């Protein structure tokens, strides 16, 4: 146990924890993005899919139970992704209270790396607003419980909301790009033989997630996703 706490206390341990929880989020966003694409098959398919999420694990689990277990696991993952990030951020500031007069731009300093922290903060607040918008419905103009398709289409019929989602998906894409790239290094997939694949893999994951997610707001704005 002491080994685990000692590892957590070190910067490397915090980075490993962030990388592992980051992989959990990547799996979640890829699955979520894939599920959203079902909206293009129409309201029945999409609502059936939303209902499946609640029925998952039946008959072993009661209605919604497995979904709640996944939600709680994701919340725990958020905690262990955000807390070490803040601790590393504070540690970095403490180690260098006076800012560099000029930053040396090394290869690793991509736009994704430079915006990683603020991108993370933005995503944190996005998820809260997003849940109030499309899951709880308190930020939605006409939320119908159990009609996920209606909520999605009506939600994006407000063009500024649809554009806001697209902009945040851009930030998510940058965060994912740098996250995938750096987590491969943290988790030890950093070897001269693999290094040349790290950047293309990060680009592919980020691009697939970005284009997959924006299909819903773009689909509504283009009149492809409509209410029946």
Using rule CB under 6 A, residue 36 touches ligand HEM? yes
- Find the binder of ligand HEM among 69, 127, 128, 189 (CB under 6 A): 127
Choices 55-63, 90-98, 111-119, 125-133 (CB under 6 A): range interacting with ligand HEM: 125-133
Instruction: Closer to ligand HEM by CB, 177 or 213: give it.
Output: 213
Using rule CB under 6 A, residue 213 touches ligand HEM? yes
Taking CB atoms, the residue at the shortest distance from ligand HEM is: 50
- The token duo for 69 is 């277990």
Give the CA angle between residues 161, 55, 74 to the nearest 5°: 55
CB 40 within 8 A of CB 219: yes
Tell me the torsion sign for CA atoms 152, 153, 159, 165.
positive
Q: Shortest distance, CB of residue 9 to ligand HEM, whole angstroms?
A: 28
Instruction: Closer to ligand HEM by CB, 19 or 169: give it.
Output: 169
Using rule CB under 6 A, residue 176 touches ligand HEM? no
Which CA distances in Å does 203 have to 155, 177, 190?
29, 6, 17
Instruction: Closer to ligand HEM by CB, 90 or 128: give it.
Output: 128
Using rule CB under 6 A, residue 225 touches ligand HEM? no
- Residue 19's Cβ-side half-sphere holds a number of Cα atoms within 13 Å equal to 17
Q: Shortest distance, CB of residue 145 to ligand HEM, whole angstroms?
A: 9
Using rule CB under 6 A, residue 50 touches ligand HEM? yes
Residue whose pair of structure tokens reads 């308190």 in the numeric block: 138
- Find the binder of ligand HEM among 135, 159, 190, 195 (CB under 6 A): 135
SS3 content of the chain, % helix, strand, coil (to 5): 75, 0, 25
Instruction: Closer to ligand HEM by CB, 165 or 177: give it.
Output: 165
Cα–Cα distance measured from residue 213 to residue 202, given in angstroms and rounded to the nearest whole number: 17
Query: In this structure, how many other beta carbons lie within 10 angstroms of the beta carbon of residue 173?
Result: 21
Residues whose CB is less than 8 angstroms from the CB of residue 205 and which lie 6 or more positions away in sequence, other chains included? 26, 30, 176, 177, 180
Using rule CB under 6 A, residue 152 touches ligand HEM? yes
Contact residues for ligand HEM (CB under 6 A)?
29, 32, 36, 50, 53, 71, 123, 127, 130-131, 134-135, 148, 152, 165, 169, 172, 213, 216-217
């Amino acid at each position: 146990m002491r080994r685990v706490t000692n590892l957590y206390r070190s910067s490397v341990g915090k980075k490993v924890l962030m990388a592992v929880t980051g992989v959990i989020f990547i799996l979640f966003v890829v699955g979520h993005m894939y599920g959203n694409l079902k909206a293009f098959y129409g309201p029945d398919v999409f609502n059936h899919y939303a209902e499946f999420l609640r029925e998952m694990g039946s008959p072993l689990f009661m209605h919604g139970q497995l979904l709640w277990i996944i939600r709680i696991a994701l919340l725990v993952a958020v905690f262990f992704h955000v807390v070490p990030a803040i601790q590393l951020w504070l540690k970095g500031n403490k180690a260098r209270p006076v800012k560099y007069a000029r930053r040396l731009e090394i290869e690793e300093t991509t736009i994704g790396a430079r915006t990683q922290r603020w991108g993370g903060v933005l995503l944190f607040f996005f998820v809260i607003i997003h849940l109030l918008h499309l899951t709880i419905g308190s930020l939605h103009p006409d939320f119908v419980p159990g009609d996920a398709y209606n909520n999605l289409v009506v939600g994006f019929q407000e063009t500024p909301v649809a554009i806001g989602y697209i902009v945040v998906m851009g930030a998510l894409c940058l965060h994912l790009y740098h996250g995938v790239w750096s987590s491969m290094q943290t988790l030890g997939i950093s070897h001269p033989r693999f290094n040349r694949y790290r950047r293309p893999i990060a680009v592919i994951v980020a691009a697939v997630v970005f284009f997959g997610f924006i299909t819903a707001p773009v689909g509504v704005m283009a009149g492809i996703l409509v209410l029946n």
